[in-house]
Structure 1
Amino acid sequence: MGDALCSVEGWVAGVDEAGRGPLAGPVLAAAIIIDPHEIE
């Protein structure tokens, strides 16, 4: 994500999922929200 978008919005969120879907098996989803100024 570009620095320009981070400076306007202020936060970065990432979401990911893994699995075969609810009809074929379990699904695991995770999300994280970070302050872009804390990224080294």
Structure 2
Amino acid sequence: MLPEVVLPAEQNYYDLYEKLLPGCQFHKMGWAMGVVWTK
């Protein structure tokens, strides 16, 4: 589930981690980005 507003740099981040960690979830925490991946 991606945020409604995605900056181009953020889109690269999502694309990269979606490939590395299929099914991972992204959580925006202010200036930081959290990635949760459960097998």
TM-score (normalizing by structure 2): 0.23
TM-score (normalizing by structure 1): 0.23
More strand by share: 1
More helix by share: 2
Higher relative contact order (CA 8 A, sep 6+): 1
